[in-house]
Chains A and B, each alone.
Chain A
Amino acid sequence: MARKILTEHINIPGIESFDVYRQQGGYTAVEKAIKTMTPEEVVEEAKKSGVRGRGGAGFPMGMKWGFLAKPEGVPRYLVCNADESEPGTFKDHHLMKSIPHLLIEGMIISSFALGANKSFIYVRGELMYVIRILEKAIEEAKAKGFLGKNILGSGYDLELIVQPGGGAYICGEETALLESLEGKRGNPRNKPPFPAVKGLYQSPTVVNNVESISNMPWIINNGGDAYAAIGIGRSTGTKLISASGHIQKPGVYEIELGLSVDEFLNSDEYCGGIRKGHYLKALVAGGSSVPILPANLITKTANGEDRLMSYESLSDGGFATGTMLGSGGFIVFDETACIVRNTWNFSRFYHHESCGQCSPCREGTGWMEKVLHRIEHGHGSMHDIDLLVDISKKIEGNTICPLGDAAAWPVASAIRHFRDEFMWHITNPLEASQPGAVYQGEMALV
Chain B
Amino acid sequence: MTEIPNLVAFTPERLEKVKEIIARYPEGRQKSALLPVLHVAQEQWGWLSSEVMDYVAGILSIEPVEVYEVATFYTMYHLDPVGKHVIEYCRTGPCCLMGGEDVYGHLKQKLGIGAGETTSDGLFTLKEVECLAACGWGPVFQIREKYYMNLTNDRIDEIIEELSK
A interface residues, Cβ below 8 angstroms from B? 75, 84-90, 92-93, 118, 124-129, 132, 159, 161, 163-169, 180-186, 201, 242-246, 250-252, 288, 329, 331, 333, 337, 341-342, 345-346, 349, 352-353
Contacts and interface: CB of A to CB of B under 8 A. Distances in A.
Nearest to A129: B145
A338 to B, nearest CB: 10
Contacts, number: 146
B30 to A, nearest CB: 8
A92 B94 contact: no
Contacts of B134: 90, 93
A126 B93 CA distance: 18
Interface residues of B, number: 44
Given A163-B36, A182-B31, A288 B93 contact: yes
Contacts of B147: 129
B135 A183 contact: no
Given A126-B142, A165-B74, A185-B73, A89 B132 contact: no
Contact of B26 (A90, A201, A250, A352): A201
Contacts of B33: 183
Contacts of B103: none
30 contacts: A85-B133, A87-B130, A88-B93, A90-B133, A125-B74, A128-B145, A163-B35, A163-B36, A166-B39, A166-B73, A166-B74, A166-B77, A168-B74, A169-B130, A182-B29, A183-B60, A183-B62, A183-B66, A183-B70, A184-B66, A185-B69, A244-B98, A245-B97, A245-B98, A250-B98, A251-B136, A331-B93, A333-B97, A337-B97, A349-B93
B131 interface: yes
Contact of A201 (B29, B36, B38, B136): B29
A251 B137 CA distance: 7
A20 B147 CA distance: 26
A118 B29 CA distance: 13
Contacts of B36: 163-164
A267 to B, nearest CB: 17
Nearest to B92: A87
Interface of B: 24-26, 29, 31-36, 38-39, 60, 62, 66, 69-70, 73-77, 88, 91-94, 96-98, 129-138, 142, 145-147
A127 B93 contact: no
Nearest to B24: A161
B32 A181 contact: yes
Interface centre among A92, A126, A251, A337, by most B CB within 10 Å?
A126
Contact of B70 (A118, A166, A349): A166
Instruction: Across the A-B interface, give the 9 residue pairs with the lowest CB-CB distance, nearest first.
Output: A166-B74, A250-B136, A167-B76, A183-B31, A183-B34, A167-B75, A244-B135, A185-B73, A87-B131
Contacts of B34: 183
Interface centre among A75, A90, A168, by most B CB within 10 Å?
A90
B131 A346 contact: no
Contacts of A181: 32
A349 B94 contact: no
A182 B38 CA distance: 14
Nearest to B105: A435
Nearest to B77: A166
A376 B15 CA distance: 51
B127 to A, nearest CB: 10
Contact of A168 (B60, B73, B93, B142): B73
Given A166-B76, A341-B96, 10 more contacts: A163-B32, A163-B35, A166-B75, A182-B31, A184-B69, A242-B136, A244-B97, A245-B94, A250-B136, A352-B130
A246 B36 CA distance: 37
A92 B133 contact: yes
Contacts of B130: 85, 87, 169, 349, 352-353
Contacts of B132: 126
B136 A243 contact: yes
A90 B97 contact: no
Contacts of B146: 129
B41 to A, nearest CB: 12
Interface centre among B93, B145, B147, by most A CB within 10 Å?
B93
A359 B78 CA distance: 27
Nearest to A342: B93
B73 A186 contact: yes
Contacts of B24: 159, 161
B135 A331 contact: yes
A204 to B, nearest CB: 14
A345 B92 contact: yes
Contacts of A132: 145
Contacts of A169: 130-131
Given A90-B133, A125-B39, A244 B74 contact: no
B97 A85 contact: no
B135 A89 contact: yes
A445 B66 CA distance: 53
B109 to A, nearest CB: 14
B39 A128 contact: yes
Given A118-B26, A182-B32, A201-B29, A167 B74 contact: yes
B135 A90 contact: yes
A242 B75 CA distance: 24
A127 B32 CA distance: 19
A331 B94 contact: yes
Nearest to A337: B97
A334 B142 CA distance: 27
A126 B69 contact: no
Contacts of B92: 87, 288, 345-346, 349
